[in-house]
Structure 1
Amino acid sequence: MATEEIKTYSLTEMKDSYIGKVGTTDRDEYEYELRMDVLGKMIKSARQKRHLTQEELGKLVGVQKAQISKLESSANSATIDTVLKVFRALKAEINFNVKLEDDFVKLT
């Protein structure tokens, strides 16, 4: 009895097939959403490590608890200013890297 070999796919192959190739609008939107989700999770984790409630963090930043909750579930709607204020209130350092092709952009 012959056994069939199961075809396996890499994550990249699956994304290319089901979401779109790198550089397509759908793929770019997917990658952006994923990064914003990760950013929200980092904010939540930092807040919890500082033993702050969403309400307490909101007061430090000057926003309502609901906005902190929304930010933690997905940072999509947040401005960069709000994100920076949140990390400042958490006494957390945040770094941004800008990469053009193979080189990182450095501020001089």
Structure 2
Amino acid sequence: MSTKEIKTYTLAEMKDKYIGKVGTSERDEYEYELRMDVLGKMIKRARLERHMTQEELGKLIGVQKAQISKLERSANSATIDTIMKVFKALKAEINFNVKIEDNFLKLT
């Protein structure tokens, strides 16, 4: 009996095949949604570590509980200002990196 070798693929290869190559609008949209989902999960985790309810966090930044819930499910509808307010209210530090070609910009 012969054994058949199973072909394996990297995650990058699978993304290229099923979502689109890096730089395509489909891939950019996927990567953006993924980052926003991760950001929402980070907000929820920080809130829970502070033992706060969504309502309590909302009151601190001046929004309704529903807005915090929506933000935690996916931060893609939030402005950077709102995200900054959330992390400030949670006494959590957030860092943004801006890369132009091969150089990272730093705020001084």
**What TM-score does the superposition give when structure 1 sets the normalisation length?**
0.97
1:94 aligns with 2:90: no
* TM-superposed deviation, 1:59: 0.4
Distance, in Å, in 2 between the alignment partners of 1:85 and 1:105 is: 22
The code of the aligned residue for 2:76 comes to N
Structure 2 match to 1:62: 62
Letter of the structure 1 residue corresponding to residue 71 of structure 2: L
CA deviations 1:7-48 (Å, max 9, x no partner) are 000000000000000000000000000000000000000000
Measured in 2, the distance between the counterparts of 1:60 and 1:8 equals 49
Identity of aligned residues (%): 82
Structure 2: tracts of 5 or more residues without a match: none
RMSD: 0.7
Partner of 2:27: 27
1:87 positional shift:
0.5
Write the mapping of 1:1-16 to structure 2, written as runs, cut at 5 A: 1-16=1-16
Any unmatched runs of 5+ in structure 1?
Answer: none
Is 1:81 the counterpart of 2:81? The answer is yes
Q: Residues of 1 paired with 2:99 and 2:24: CA distance?
A: 19
Aligned partner of residue 52 in structure 2, secondary structure:
coil
Please state how far the C-alpha of 1:107 moved relative to its aligned partner. 2.9
- In structure 2, the residue matched to 1:37 is 37
1:46 — aligned with what? Answer: 46
* Shift, 1:106, TM fit: 2.1
Aligned length: 108
Structure 1 segments, 4+ long, off by >3 Å, are none
TM-score normalised to structure 2 length? 0.97
